[in-house]
Amino acid sequence: MQTKTPTEPKIGKCPVFCRASAGYYRQVLGGPGSMDKYPGEIFIAGLYSLLQLYRPAFSRHVLCGSAKKINSMKVFLAILLLLGTGLTACSQSPAANTPNPYYSRTDTSKLNVPDATWKKILPADLYAVAREANTERAFTGKYWNSDEKGTYYCAVCGNALFRSTAKFSSECGWPSFFEPLRKDATLYLQDHTYGMDRTEVRCGRCGSHLGHIFDDGPPPTYKRYCMNSISLDFEPDRKKK
């Protein structure tokens, strides 16, 4: 009696292992998508795929196209490697629903919170921009081309920053405004990084990095507040009944 060799679960023509692993390492290497988003889920998916392969089956590897028997020891070592990588990624990101006790849209008192505390509270992608002054890629933020009416707040502390009436289309790939909601909503520091002479814009309440200001905006201020979408929270205006 002929026994059937168990087959691997596949997505299209590609074994799950190949898809999951490629996706996982694209995340790690900073390709399409973001490792900052749900690294635990990426790790679990990759581990599950490797476990699916830990069977006496033949596999046609999509990268080389050759059929070969799976080596149990190699798969076991790969699982350990992925386990270590995945747990490291998970440990570097805060809990998904960590409460932010400093966030308030009504309290305007100044905050002096150390970065070590913010790192435990904020999502990794927000922390990288708001507290380490990284810059999100152009045309990737959720507000760069939004024209919805409402108010923009600091995503770190809830401080009101801009009204949508001050937002304009700059085609630079980041949300741009010609003036803040009030004078003390933002503060400014000289920025000489990368050999450039720029003015950094920070939140006036918590000091988080928002972006930079340039002298090429529209009237009446002729200023362009070039902000990172991830540093902003948006609250749309309530529609009148």
40 and 125 co-located in one domain: no
Residue partners of 96: CB distance under 8 A and separation at least 6:
none
Nearest-10 Cα torsion for 80, 86, 90, 96: -120
In whole angstroms, give the CA distance from residue 97 to residue 122.
10
Residue-level pLDDT at 79: 55
Domain presence at residue 185 = yes
Domain presence at residue 42 = yes
Q: What is the DSSP letter of 219?
A: T
- The residue range of the domain holding 29 is 10-92
The model's pTM: 0.61
Domain presence at residue 1 = no
The pLDDT > 90 percentage for the chain reads: 57
Cβ atoms of residues 235 and 220 within 8 Å:
no
Q: Which residues are catalytic?
A: 226
82 and 165 co-located in one domain: no
31 and 135 co-located in one domain: no
| Mean pLDDT of the chain, nearest integer | 75
Domain presence at residue 227 = yes
Give the number of other CB atoms < 10 A from CB of residue 206.
20
Query: Would you give the end-to-end CA distance of the chain in angstroms?
Result: 75
User: Comparing 210 with 18, which gets the higher pLDDT?
Assistant: 210
17 and 121 co-located in one domain: no
CATH code (residue 133): 2.170.150.20
User: Comparing 147 with 96, which gets the higher pLDDT?
Assistant: 147
83 and 144 co-located in one domain: no
Average pLDDT over residues 98-117: 95
46 and 132 co-located in one domain: no
Residue-level pLDDT at 59: 39
Query: How many domains does the structure of the chain reveal?
Result: 2
131 and 86 co-located in one domain: no
End residue of a domain, out of 61, 92, 123:
92
180 and 139 co-located in one domain: yes
222 and 122 co-located in one domain: yes
79 and 123 co-located in one domain: no
In whole angstroms, give the CA distance from residue 236 to residue 143.
12
In whole angstroms, give the CA distance from residue 45 to residue 208.
34
Domain presence at residue 215 = yes
Residue-level pLDDT at 83: 52
- Residue 22's pLDDT band, with cuts at 50, 70 and 90, is very low
Domain presence at residue 45 = yes
136 and 85 co-located in one domain: no
End residue of a domain, out of 92, 124, 159:
92
Residue-level pLDDT at 98: 75
Domain presence at residue 72 = yes
Domain presence at residue 65 = yes
140 and 208 co-located in one domain: yes
Average pLDDT over residues 83-104: 60
Residues in the chain: 241
Helix (H, G, I), strand (E, B) or coil at 27: helix
Residue-level pLDDT at 23: 40
- Residue 239's pLDDT band, with cuts at 50, 70 and 90, is confident
